[in-house]
Amino acid sequence: MEQLINKNKLDFKWYVVKSISGKENKVKLYIEKELAQKKMEKYVSEILIPTEKIFQIKNGKKISKERNFFPGYVLINAHLFAELIITIKNVLNVIGFLGATRGGEPLPLRKKEVNRILGKVDELSKEDEQINIPFYVGEAIKVIDGPFNGFDAVIESVNEEKRKLQVMVKIFGRKTALELSYMQVKKQ
């Protein structure tokens, strides 16, 4: 079914494909393979899985993780027609299209929703790092870096903007105030 349609004249809209949560990357890969196999790549301009990069500190080490912004959903910019819809629905781990009534046509996202989602994705890709550490006042921590390495401390205040902690360390029986970065401490 090769259609002689100019790609510039195709009506591309954003749709949401529901997938099994945690299988979004595989769904994207399988859709791309199916499209290539059936020579339908020209009808899909982009497949997007909105993710955000978060950093956590575990055992004193900074660990980078990528987290899905919309778990269980894959965004697809496509010119849909019956055969393409069936091809995508038949991909492994795909549940269906969002907004489609049972057996009905998939509903495209509104421009406003698309701009909000794509704007959020761009914003998240520009952010260098976001450290996700729930430190709180009164929590006991251990210093793992600097001249007070190995000392136990208690958090007095948390400055999330600067990623700094005001802590009290007991040195020779006397409490001493210190300012440490998130990277210089670990939870006990």
- Condensed to tens digits (0 to 9), the pLDDT of residues 89-116 reads 999 999 989 876 766 788 899 888 888 8
Instruction: Please tell me the distance from the alpha carbon of residue 149 to that of residue 169, in angstroms, as a whole number.
Output: 11
The residue written with tokens 């907004």 in the block is 99
Instruction: Please tell me the distance from the alpha carbon of residue 53 to that of residue 129, in angstroms, as a whole number.
Output: 7
Per the structure, the count of domains in the chain is: 2
Give domain status of residue 165, yes or no: yes
pLDDT of residue 181: 87
Same domain? For 17 and 110 the reply is yes
What CATH number is attached to the domain comprising 149? 2.30.30.30
Same domain? For 111 and 19 the reply is yes
Same domain? For 116 and 144 the reply is no
Same domain? For 122 and 145 the reply is no
Instruction: Please tell me the distance from the alpha carbon of residue 174 to that of residue 157, in angstroms, as a whole number.
Output: 19
pLDDT of residue 92: 94
| pLDDT tens per residue across span 61-77 | 677 777 888 889 999 99
pLDDT of residue 100: 61
Same domain? For 145 and 84 the reply is no
pLDDT(57) > 70: no
Give domain status of residue 134, yes or no: no
Three-state secondary structure call for residue 46: strand
Instruction: Please tell me the distance from the alpha carbon of residue 133 to that of residue 35, in angstroms, as a whole number.
Output: 41
Same domain? For 116 and 42 the reply is yes
Going by C-beta distance under 8 Å and a sequence separation of 6 or more, which residues neighbour residue 4? Answer: none
What CATH number is attached to the domain comprising 112? 3.30.70.940
Residue 70 lies in domain: 9-126
pTM comes to 0.60
pLDDT(4) > 50: no
Same domain? For 57 and 99 the reply is yes
pLDDT band at 121 (very low <50, low <70, confident <90, very high): low
Same domain? For 60 and 119 the reply is yes
Give domain status of residue 61, yes or no: yes
